[in-house]
Amino acid sequence: MATQGKNLSNYNADEISDAKKFKFGLVVSEWNAEITENLFQGAFDVLIKNGVSKENIIRWNVPGSFELVYGAKKLSESFDMLDAIIVIGSVIQGETKHFDFVCHGVTNGIAQLNVLQDIPIIFCVLTDHNKQQSIDRSGGKHGNKGVEVAISAIKMARFRENAKFYKP
C-alpha cells in the first residue's frame, strides 16, 4: 500500500500560498458515506485553514463513485469561475469484478476531464481492499487523504492561474 507508514495529513503549511481568492468545487459520493464524509471534512478544513471562504466552496453530492465523473463535468460547466474541483469517493473491493469496473471507469473519466477541460480535477477516490484500509486513510492511522488532495487543489489552482499568463 502506497500510504504505508505515511500520515497523509502532514504537509508543510509554508509551501502553500494563501488561497483566499480561489473557488473550489467538491463532488462527493454518498456511497460509503462514513468514509467520504471524513474525506470531505479533511479537504474542507484545509481549504478554510488556507484562506478559502465558505462562500467559495461549492459541494455537490452524487450517489456513487462512478457518478463522480458526470458530477465533476456538470459542476465545471455550471460554475466556470471555479479554480479546481475535487472528486471524493470510496470503492471497497467486494467479491465481484464490479470494483474493477468502477475503479477503472472513474479513473479514466477523471483523467479524460483533466485533458479536455480547462479546470484541474483532483482525484480523491479511495480504492481499498477492505473498509479498515479506507478508515485508516480517511482520518485513521494514515491521516486523511482529503487533506492531501485539498493541498493539491490549491497548488493546481495556482498552477492554472500562472499558466494563463505564460506566453512562450
| 33, 39 contact by CB (below 8 A) | no
Strand order in the sheet with 57-62: 57-62, 24-29, 84-92, 121-128
Q: Measured between alpha carbons, how far is 130 from 90 in angstroms, rounded to an integer?
A: 11
Q: What DSSP state is assigned to residue 97?
A: T
> pLDDT tier at 166 (50, 70, 90 boundaries)?
low
Residue 16 resides in a domain: no
Residue 61 resides in a domain: yes
Looking at every residue in the chain, the average pLDDT score rounds to: 91
Residue 45 resides in a domain: yes
Domains: count for the chain: 1
pLDDT recorded at residue 119: 95
Write out pLDDT tens, residues 103-133.
899 999 999 999 999 999 999 999 999 999 9
Specify whether 98 is catalytic: yes
Provide the whole-model pTM.
0.91
Q: What is the CATH number of the domain that holds 79?
A: 3.40.50.960
Residue 12 resides in a domain: no
Range(s) of the domain holding residue 39: 21-164
Residue 9 resides in a domain: no
Cell of 4: 504505508
Write out pLDDT tens, residues 41-67.
999 999 999 999 999 999 999 999 999
| 57, 24 contact by CB (below 8 A) | yes
Closest CA to 12 of 154, 163, 136, 158: 154
Residue 14 resides in a domain: no
Q: Measured between alpha carbons, how far is 97 from 31 in angstroms, rounded to an integer?
A: 17
